[in-house]
Structure formats: C-alpha cells, structure tokens
C-alpha cells in the first residue's frame, strides 16, 4: 500500500515540523499557517491533512505519546527499585523545557476536550499512558515489598495518578512555587507513605 | 464616585450573563456575541468592557472566585474536625454540574496562561485560593492533633494541593474513572495518611 505509507510519512513530517515550532516558539504559536511555513508547504496543502488547530494539536500529541511510550518501554529500568520507580514517574512530569512545551499542548487540548471529540480522544489516550505508568510504579513497589500489605493497589494508583497530574499542573502553571526539585521531593515524600500501613 | 460604581455594576451584570450561558450551554459557548445577546446588549457595547474572549473569561473567573471566597469564609464549619476538613476541601472540587462548568472556564484560561498575562493573573488568583484552602485544611487537622507530629505543614500542604488539583482534573476529564464518590474516597484516604508518622 505505497499511497498509505506515503500519507503516513507526510503526516509524521508535519508532526515533526509542528514540534519544532512548539519547542522554539511555544504551543500557542502552532497554527495551520506557521506549521505550513515550517514544513515548507502551502497552507492549502496542509489543510488536506488537518483542517483545524485541534486536529493539528491532536496529531502532534499522538506523535509525542507514541514516542514517549516507546522510550518508556525501551528505558533502562535497572537499579534499586525505589530509585527506578522515582525515575519512571519523573519521566511523565514536565521537568525540562521540552516536556513543559508538551504539557502546554496537552493543556490546550484538554481545555477543548469537554466540547471536542477529537481532543477528547487524544487526551484520553495520553492520560491513559500516565495512569498505566503510575500503576506500574505501584505494582513494582508492591512486588518488591515496598508497599504496606494492607494498601489497596487500585486505590493507591488512583491517588498517585492524581498527585502526579496535580504536580505536573503546578510545575507548569506555578514554577515559582513548584520548581523541579520540589516536584521530585513531593513525589519522593508520597512514595514514602506507601511503605506505611494504611490503617 | 457614581460613574465607577455604575461601571462595576455593569461589569457584574455581564459576568452574571456569562455564567448563565456557561451553566446552560457550556464554557465553549461563552463568546463576546453570545454574552451580548444574553445580557441584551449589542456586541459593540460589550466590547467597550471586554475586547477578547480571554478578558471575558478572566472577569467571569474573578467573579466566581470572589463569590466562592465569600461563601467559604461565611460557611458553617462546625462539627467533627475531620468531617469539616473533608467538607472544606470538597468545596473546591468539581463535584456537581455547576462546579464542573466553573472548572471548564478555569481550564480554558489555564491553557492560555503560558502566553497571556491576563489569563495568568486570574489563574494565579484562583489557584492561590485553593492553595489557601488546602493550607487551612492541614493547619486545622494539625491543631486538632490529627496530623502526626513529625509531618511538615508546608510539605503536606503542597502535596494535598497537588492531590486536590489532580483529582479535580480527573473528575472533569475522566468522570467515568473518577466519579464524585471516588473523588471523596481518595481524598478521605489521603487525609488518613496524615495521621501516621512521616518517617
């Protein structure tokens, strides 16, 4: 199916152009016009692939989620369990400029998701990836005997997932009160609590 | 200063019209045109007060934050301390349709805040209100002897604030996995942990 392969390659090329613009100029700068210019296409040619900014953001998000998922599963997760789990979770937090930009795109899509099914589907996919990472973190700690026996894995996963997303939001919106070191320390403090019996 | 008073009254009238539209039709429906129609004004007259949708959303947010703050401080916070604190925190979570709509407006503004100073100022104000509510929750529990002596109030406030905002986000974006009952249970479970020594 050479035509389909070509179509996919062209879409990937556009996603890469979009991310170059986002990393350089910020998420708000990603418009159909600016991405067309970056890719060396006419806006009309780009509109053959994406007709709205939401579709553009959704495809760029899909591209980043796929890359992050591959990187996550190919990662070197050897070492002391507690340190490995901390690193796994830091991977999904906006602790450097690149991931801050990715989260800005996430936030633009999330804001559209109550009314836009395309945005909603991509947000669900991205958030499911983070939920699975937090679940893996809790299960890994539990398997290593680092979670108190009476703690419930699904409850602790839901709580850790909320904490991780809240920290991500504060790191993005209020970096003055939640700089990277404080994000890491708050996460470490939370993992400490999992060691203690729930009641 | 009768002119200023009148100006403020007109702005409050517009904020009320905006919230009627948001509660009825959703946050995305709040445009300069739809708010003008709801208020019985011409779009031109409305543009005398607000020139962009961000300014409109920011003013509506300010209005809701002021109302929520008054309600919070006038609230009946009597009863067993632990129950009171749970109720205080539930007050800032999107557990009914009205607060879901308010959070949709918050999310639209938050998505604009990395590039828009007007949005950023309103988000900072709204988020500071939630941070103060979580601080009051931790201090109230600590004063009642319901927080382990070795726990650090600023750290626990930062963690509780992240948890509350993460839960709010999941309640809004993924109500299927985080319905109101699960939000309340996760919050209650987190407060239980504060009773136990940190290390």
- Encode pLDDT of B82-91 as tens digits: 999 999 999 9
Query: Mean pLDDT over residues B51-79, rounded?
Result: 90
Give Cα separations from A93 to A142, A154, B65, B164, B188 (angstroms).
Answer: 22, 21, 28, 17, 25
| Predicted confidence band of residue B181 (pLDDT cuts 50, 70, 90) | very high
Q: Do A107 and B104 touch (CB under 8 A)?
A: no
CATH number given to B1-51: 1.10.10
Q: Rounded to a whole number, what is the distance in angstroms from the first to the last CA of chain B?
A: 59
Which tens digit of pLDDT belongs to each residue from A100-124?
Answer: 999 999 999 999 999 999 999 999 9
What is the rounded CA–CA span in Å between residue B11 and residue A32?
35
What's the rounded Cα separation, in Å, for the pair A187 and A161? Answer: 11
Contact residues, chain B, for A28 at CB < 8 Å: 112, 114-115
Per-domain residue ranges of chain A: 1-51, 53-194
Tens digits of per-residue pLDDT, B159-178? 999 999 999 999 999 999 99
Give the pair of three-digit tokens for residue B1.
Answer: 């200063």
d(CA A15, CA A61): 9
Q: What is the pLDDT of residues A8-59, one digit of tens each?
A: 888 888 889 999 999 999 988 988 899 999 999 998 988 888 888 899 999 9
Q: Helix, strand or coil for residue A72?
A: helix
Helix (H, G, I), strand (E, B) or coil at A50: coil
CB contact under 8 A, A161 and B170: yes
Nearest to B169 among A115, A165, A192 (CB): A165
pLDDT at B1 over 60: no
CB-nearest to B173 from A127, A155, A167 is A127
CB contact under 8 A, A28 and B112: yes
Average pLDDT score over chain A: 92
| pLDDT score at B119 | 96
pLDDT band at B8 (very low <50, low <70, confident <90, very high): confident
Tens digit of each residue's pLDDT (9 = 90 or more) over B16-44: 999 999 999 998 898 889 999 999 999 89
Question: Tokens at residue B55, please?
Answer: 């300014």
CA-based nearest distance B4→chain A, Å:
33
How does DSSP classify residue A137? Answer: H
Q: Which two tokens stand for residue B86?
A: 């749970």
3-state secondary structure chain B: CHHHHHHHHHHHHHHHHHHHHHHHHCHHHCCHHHHHHHHCCCHHHHHCCCCCHHHHHHHHHHHHHHHHHHHHHHCCCCCCHHHHHHHHHHCCCCCCHHHHHHHHHHHHHHHHCCCCHHHHHHHHHHHHHHHHHHHHHHHHHHHCCCCCCCCCHHHHHHHHHHHHHHHHHHHHHCCCCCCHHHHHHHHHHHHHHHCCCCC
What percent of chain B is modeled with pLDDT above 70?
97
How far off is chain A from B43, nearest CA to CA, in Å? Answer: 24
Q: Is the pLDDT of residue B5 over 80?
A: no
Eight-class DSSP state of A122 = H
- Which candidate, B70, B71, B41, places its Cα nearest to that of B56? B41
Complex prediction ipTM? 0.93
Chain A, chain B: beta-carbon pairs less than 8 Å apart: 121
Residue A184 banded pLDDT, cuts 50, 70, 90: very high
- Six-digit token pair at A96? 């450097």
Separation CA A166–CA A83 (nearest Å): 21
Report which of residues A164 and A197 the model is more confident about: A164
Q: Is the pLDDT of residue A166 over 70?
A: yes
Task: Answer yes or no: are the C-beta atoms of A171 and A123 closer than 8 Å.
Answer: no
B186 to A128, A159, B198: CA distances (angstroms) = 19, 6, 19
* Nearest CB neighbour to B198, from listed A124, A173, A192: A192
If interface means Cβ-Cβ distance under 8 Å, which residues of chain A face chain B? 26-28, 104, 107-108, 110-115, 123-124, 127, 131, 155, 158-159, 161-167, 169-170, 172-174, 177-178, 182, 185-186, 189-190, 192-193, 196-199
CA distance B33 to B26: 15
Within 8 A of B103 by CB-CB distance, chain A residues are none
Cβ burial A80-113 (10 Å sphere, 16+ → b, else e): eebebbbebbbbbbbbeeebbbbbbbbbbbbbbb
Give the whole-angstrom CA distance, residue B171 versus residue A25.
32
CATH topology match: A1-51 vs A53-194: no
Statement: residue A4 has pLDDT above 80:
no
> Is A142 within 8 Å of A112 (Cβ atoms)?
no
Cβ contact B106:B126 at 8 Å: yes
* pLDDT of B184 higher than 60: yes
**C-beta atoms of A165 and B164 within 8 A:** no
Asked if A149 contacts A194 with a C-beta cutoff of 8 angstroms, the reply is no
The pLDDT > 70 percentage for chain A reads 97
- The reported pLDDT for the residue numbered B28 is 86
Q: What is residue B52's predicted lDDT score, i.e. its pLDDT?
A: 87
Question: Which pLDDT value is given to residue B2?
Answer: 55
User: B-side interface with A, Cβ within 8 Å?
Assistant: 26-28, 104, 107-108, 110-115, 123-124, 127, 131, 155, 158-159, 161-167, 169-170, 172-174, 177-178, 182, 185-186, 189-190, 192-193, 196-199
The CATH class given to the A53-194 domain equals mainly alpha
């Amino acid at each position: 199916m050479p035509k389909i392969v070509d179509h996919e390659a062209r879409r990937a090329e556009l996603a890469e152009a979009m991310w170059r613009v986002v990393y350089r100029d910020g998420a708000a700068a990603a418009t159909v016009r600016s991405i067309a210019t970056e890719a060396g296409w006419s806006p009309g040619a780009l509109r053959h692939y994406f007709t709205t900014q939401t579709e553009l953001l959704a495809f760029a998000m899909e591209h980043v989620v796929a890359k992050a998922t591959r990187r996550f599963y190919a990662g070197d997760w050897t070492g002391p369990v507690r340190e490995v789990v901390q690193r796994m979770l830091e991977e999904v937090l906006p602790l450097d400029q690149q991931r801050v930009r990715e989260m800005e795109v996430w936030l633009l899509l999330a804001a559209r998701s109550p009314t836009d099914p395309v945005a909603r589907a991509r947000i669900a996919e991205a958030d499911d990836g983070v939920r699975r990472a937090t679940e893996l973190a809790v299960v890994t700690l539990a398997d290593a005997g680092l979670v108190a026996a009476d703690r419930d894995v699904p409850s602790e996963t839901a709580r850790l997932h909320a904490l991780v997303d809240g920290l991500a939001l504060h790191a993005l919106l209020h970096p003055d009160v939640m700089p990277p070191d404080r994000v890491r320390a708050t996460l470490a403090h939370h993992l400490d609590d999992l060691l203690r019996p729930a009641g």
